[in-house]
Structures are given as C-alpha cells and as structure tokens.
Amino acid sequence: MHHFTALADVPDLGALLETAEAVSRHPHSTPALGRHKTLGLIFFNPSLRTRLSSQRAAHNLGLDVMVLNAGTEGWALEFGDGAIMDGDKAEHIKDAAAVMGRYCDILGVRTFPGLKDREADYQEEVLEAFKRYAGVPILSLESATRHPLQSLADLITIRMHTPVPKPKVVLTWAPHVRALPQAVPNSFAEWMNGAAAAGQVEFVITHPPGYELAPAFAGSAPIVYDQHKAFEGAHVIYAKNWSSYTDYGKILIQSREWMVTPDKMALTDQAKFMHCLPVRRNVVVADAVIDSPASIILDQAANRVVSCQAVLQHMLMG
C-alpha cells in the first residue's frame, strides 16, 4: 500500500483486516518494521483521538514520530499555482510538502473542510497537494471529505462485536449545535457500501430530508427518512451529525427528535451503539444509551490504534 486516503487506496482489504486482527492480538510483534524510520504528523486542525492513537501505533511499530501543529508552530501556506506570494502566506505547499517529505518516511495529514465552497472542499486541495508534492506515502488523519482510519476502525469493531453473519448496520444522522463536516459519514458509507457489495453487511442510511450525502458516497445504500423504521431489526446503530451537502455546510434542523434514545434502541435487534467521538451527550445521544452495555464506543476508539498500526504496517511493507 502506498497512500492511505480512501478505500480505493487499499489494494487488498482482506489482507489489511488480517493484519489488523494480528495487531490486535500482538501489538508489539513487529517493532523492527519501523526501525530508523520517522512518521511525521501534520495537524492543520485540532485532534485528540487521531493525534494520540497514531502516535501509539507508531510506537508499537518502533517508528520515530514528529508532530507539527501547522497553524501555531509553522505558518500559513499558499496553495494557488503560480501565485504571486505578496500576501500573508509565507510558504507554498509545493515547497513545504516536498521538504517535509525529505524529513519523514511517511506523512500523516489532518485537515478539515471550510464548509463554504463545496467544490473546493471536495477537491481535497490540501491532501492532494501533499500527495502530489511530498514524494512519500500520505496517511490521511481525516481530510475535508473522508476519514478512512476511522472507517477501518469502525469495520474492525463491527466485525468484533456482531456475531450474526450479515448484520444490519444503520448510519443515522443526529442533531448537533455546530455545522460539522461530512467526512466521517462519507467515509463510513464508502466502507460499508463496500462491505455490503461483498455481502458482509446490510447497510441503511437514515436522516432528515436535505441531509443526503454526496452520491459518490451514498452509493446505492437505501435511504430511509423515518428513523424509527430504519432502526427496526438493526444490529449496529452508527450515529453521527453532519451538515447538509445539498445546501452546503448548512444546519437545516436542530430539533432533538433525531437524538438516539433508549426507546429508539428498543426497536433494534439488540443493536450495538457506535459513535466516532467526540460526542455531544444528550444532544446526539442520550446518556442512557451511550453509557449502556450496548455502547461499544470505547472499543471503537481503542481500535483506532489497531487500524492505524495495520495501515502503517502495510505502508512500511511497501
């Protein structure tokens, strides 16, 4: 595996999942793999889980790590080709990415969408620039439109916790007070549609009208506008807020009617509750659900180390 920025970057998902299982059992079995190699982690946005889980994964592999907070520790970057740089941008991404690629063997990049200009966000300017100029494998630590390390952790968690052969997995929109990116639901849909195509899961999306994901991500997953109906018989409830793709970056409704509650969970087939975190309690999901035995959010978070380590391992093996 070279880059890891989307499902399409994974040449053999089965092999990656096998590695993940091995990593989960024996996290320190390949410390020599990272020897004399350095992972650079560049954050254009805040991060807690990704920041810590990727460092831990690197430690487990014997990789050295360098963390750069691009905003506060470095300077503003220019992305325009041919720009006359007489404004506030001190360095072109061409040069910054190329240099970082000379100092690191793998570069992890975290960036968010602006949620103002849909076309710009979906072109993944920052991530693509790193892929183009860095000259080393790029690991997405969440980009404007995808969060594949999260999705891989989600898939590992679902496989670990659903003993039924073809579980019904429901991605449900939930309320929030701020306009959030579509990266997590996009990526989750991308990976679940893949699993559905392979006959491994039944995948359903539920959200209020106006919250349709980009067609490239929603794929052919059935969209159910009635949340109660969608929950019926579910084995996994995956809750997440996102802002509108159609009316780009907007919050269309804020009512708590879409919050995940115990009575809704009662409609499912003893479904597990998942959320990528951070989560607004009693807005996205009731305490009584997230603190219940059905909640597997901590295993899901713990699997962020497993997913990152499996990916790094495949990158190091080339």
Chain contacts with a copy of itself (rule: CB under 8 A):
27-28, 31, 36, 38, 40, 43, 46-49, 51-53, 55-56, 59-60, 64, 66, 68-69, 72-75, 78, 82-87, 90-92, 95-96, 98-100, 102-104, 177, 277-283, 287, 290, 297-298, 301-302, 305
> Nearest distance from residue 130's CB to a copy of itself, in Å?
14
Beta-bridged to residue 172, according to DSSP, are 206, 239
Kind and range of the H or E run holding 133: helix 125-133
Whichever of 72 and 220 has its CB closer to a copy of itself, that residue is 72
* C-alpha–C-alpha distance, residues 186 and 175, integer Å: 17
Cis peptide bond N-terminal to 27, omega within 30: no
DSSP class of 278: -
Phi, psi of 307 (to 5 degrees): -65, -40
List, in order, residues 6 or more apart from 132 with CB less than 8 Å away: 97
Q: Are strands 64-69 and 77-78 parallel, antiparallel or unpaired?
A: unpaired
> Nearest distance from residue 281's CB to a copy of itself, in Å?
5
Q: Are strands 236-240 and 168-173 parallel, antiparallel or unpaired?
A: parallel
Q: Which two tokens stand for residue 87?
A: 């404004």
Whichever of 8 and 252 has its CB closer to a copy of itself, that residue is 252
Whichever of 110 and 207 has its CB closer to a copy of itself, that residue is 110
Whichever of 96 and 138 has its CB closer to a copy of itself, that residue is 96
Q: Which two tokens stand for residue 222?
A: 């059935």
> Nearest distance from residue 259's CB to a copy of itself, in Å?
10
> Nearest distance from residue 26's CB to a copy of itself, in Å?
11
> Nearest distance from residue 39's CB to a copy of itself, in Å?
11
> Nearest distance from residue 64's CB to a copy of itself, in Å?
4
Whichever of 69 and 261 has its CB closer to a copy of itself, that residue is 69
> Nearest distance from residue 46's CB to a copy of itself, in Å?
6
What sign does the dihedral 115-205-305-64 (CA atoms) show? negative
- Rounded to the nearest 10 degrees, how much is the dihedral formed by the CA atoms of 95, 84, 140, 115? 170
Whichever of 58 and 221 has its CB closer to a copy of itself, that residue is 58
Whichever of 35 and 229 has its CB closer to a copy of itself, that residue is 35
DSSP class of 285: B
> Nearest distance from residue 288's CB to a copy of itself, in Å?
10
* C-alpha–C-alpha distance, residues 76 and 90, integer Å: 6
List, in order, residues 6 or more apart from 202 with CB less than 8 Å away: 166, 167, 168, 169, 196
61: helix, strand or coil: coil
Q: Are strands 272-274 and 77-78 parallel, antiparallel or unpaired?
A: unpaired
Whichever of 77 and 189 has its CB closer to a copy of itself, that residue is 77
Whichever of 65 and 214 has its CB closer to a copy of itself, that residue is 65
> Nearest distance from residue 282's CB to a copy of itself, in Å?
4
In order of 43, 196, 266, the CA distances from 165 in angstroms are 39, 12, 21
